[in-house]
Amino acid sequence: MQFTRLQLLGIFKLVKPAALQTVLYNGITGLMRDPKFYRYSPVGARYSAWTPEGKEALDDYLFEMCPIIDQAERDELIKRAEEMTLAVLKK
């Protein structure tokens, strides 16, 4: 199932920035587990490499996630500002 960027923004609207770190990590490692995208070397990480398709998939993934991360950071900043304002008003 493919989601549009606007749908993803809506889905992740309630997700905290810390949770997005997990989403990013899982997305990247998911790509790495696919031999179409990442060539794993049993010799070591130094000899493993992204395939051309993998580089494009990783680029696309990060391109789609950046606006989501940006919005989450902005939402978190607004939330903190509101909490600070309310704390000052309660005094």
DSSP letter assigned to residue 34? -
Sign, CA dihedral 56-57-61-62, equals negative
Please tell me whether the overall predicted TM-score, pTM, comes out greater than 0.85 for this model: no
CB of 60 within 8 A of CB of 53?
no
Confidence of residue 31 (pLDDT cuts 50, 70, 90): very high
Per domain, the residue ranges of the chain are 17-90
Quote the distance between the C-alpha of residue 43 and its chain's center.
Answer: 29
Q: How does pLDDT run across 42-76, given as a tens digit for each residue?
A: 999 999 999 999 999 999 999 988 888 888 888 88
Q: How confident is the model at residue 10 (pLDDT cuts 50, 70, 90)?
A: low
Cβ-proximal residues to 56 (8 Å cutoff; 6+ apart), any chain: none
Is it the case that residue 5 has pLDDT exceeding 60? Answer: no
Q: For residues 68 and 55, what is the distance between their CA atoms, to the nearest angstrom?
A: 20
Supply the pLDDT for residue 75.
Answer: 87
